[in-house]
Each structure stands twice: as C-alpha cells, then as structure tokens.
Amino acid sequence: MEERLQKLIARAGISSRRHAEELILSGQVRVNGKVVTELGTKADPAKDRIEAAGRLVVAEERKVYLLLHKPPQIVSTMADPEGRPTLRHYLRGLPERVYPVGRLEFDASGLVFLTNDGDLAAEMLRLWSHLPQTYYIKVKGRLSEMQVKQIAAETSALLKPIRQPGATRGHTANFWYEVTLRDSRRDRLRRALLIQQHPAEKLKRVAIGPLTLGGVPLGRYRSLTPTEVARLQRALQAGAVAKPPKKKRPPKKQKETVIVA
C-alpha cells in the first residue's frame, strides 16, 4: 500500500515526521535509487526500495512508548550541537530508536514522553498546546493568598500549596506548589511569579494529559501499558474534536480595472 514518504520514514523510526520532511526537501531520500524532493510523493515499502539519510526504510518496527524521568541539566533531545548531556544517555541498551515528544526546559526535571510511533507523535505535537500538563513548582519565598489569586487571574493557573516532594511527614515546605496548565501559559506563569518577586526556582513536570510520572526513579524510564497507550489515543481524539478549526480568510477582492477609451 502506497503512503507518503514522510509517514513511512517516521513509522520506521528513522526520524520524526517533521524531520523526515526536511530530509526529503534536502535531497536525502531515494526511492528505487532516484532522489525525491517532493513532499507529496508516495511509495510502497513492500515493493519499493526507500532510503532516508543513508538508511533503508524497512518494514514497520515494534511500537515503543516510554515515560522517562528527566533529571535537571539535561537537554530533552537525542543530540545536542553544544555537547551538553542528552536523553540518549538514559536510553542505552534500548534497541529501538525513539524520539521525545514536546519539550522540557534544560533546568527542569520530570516527565518526558518518547516513542517511535510517528503518527501518534505528530498528532500529539499538533495538539500540544491543548494538552494539560501538571507541574510541581518551587518558588522563592511564600506566596500570599492575594498573590495566588492575582496570578490565577492573570494566567488562569491555580497554584495549590503542596508538601515538598520527597520530604518527611513532619516537614512542611509550602513554597512548593502544584499547577496544571497548557504549555503556552508556562512562560506567562514564570513572568507573573517574577513580577510578584517570587521567581520559580525549580520546575518538575509530573503529568502530560493522561500520562503520569508516578514512581519512575530519576534518570530511569518505563514502558507504557496498552491501557495507557489507549488512554492517550482517546485523549488526543478528544482534543482533536475540541480544537476549533482555523477560520479561512475571505478571498481578497480584486480591484476592477477601468479602461478609458
């Protein structure tokens, strides 16, 4: 069955679909020995020899879905041009090539989702700004009740005081807060905290949509269960329905040309 090249490349685990498009446009994809540079080109991996970045696109490999507990001071990619430590270090021994979906700041810790399922990753990225994400945030000092209300009014982010993660029962460090927000509001929340003179000192992501970090140790990962994968797929389907379609701009009126005899 013929499918678009970028879809086949992503499904084979060679790259994300977005990067596959870049490979096509840069002339790094061949079909039966011929360079292909058009994004709409289709091929059948059962009949055609497809090569991307020097690698053969073979039959679909086993789908892998992972939750990784990223430590701070780690780049949430598989490679870094500046030579900083990346997620690859924590995936040694994994036979499949997986890629992180979405971003998490260099200094932040917490949940990172990785997969070789190009279709699911593309849909997740498309709806990324609509997926609720839960964070534990440590701020400098302690916010007053009035400041919490002001921040909620400005950012729609309700900060709930929590016990310091990993603290003993008798320890009450209420400068830690839990907040659930959309990805696009995270920077706005940081600015609001800075304005209130209580800047965020630590950030830990503990959930993305229905996916939760749970008890995954720092620097370790686990595979999603089939139930968790199905739950994520349902959440993405619900998000696709809830996301309003972009309004088409009305066509510009063409100016009438007046011919003077």
Measured from the Cβ of residue 103, the count of other Cβ atoms closer than 10 Å reads 13
pLDDT at 120 > cutoff 50: yes
Q: Domains in the chain, ordered, with CATH?
A: 3-56 (3.10.290.10), 65-129+213-242 (3.30.70.580), 132-208 (3.30.70.1560)
List pLDDT tens digits, range 207-236. 999 999 999 999 999 999 999 999 999 999
Is-contact 67 55, C-beta < 8 A?
Answer: no
Is residue 59's pLDDT more than 80?
no
Paired tokens of 234: 């349902």
Distance of CA 25 to the CA centre of its chain: 23
What φ, ψ does residue 89 adopt, rounded to 5°? -60, -30
Q: Return the pLDDT at 27.
A: 95
Stated pTM of the model: 0.69
Other CB atoms within 10 Å distance of the CB of residue 230: 12
For 33, the token pair is: 């020995």
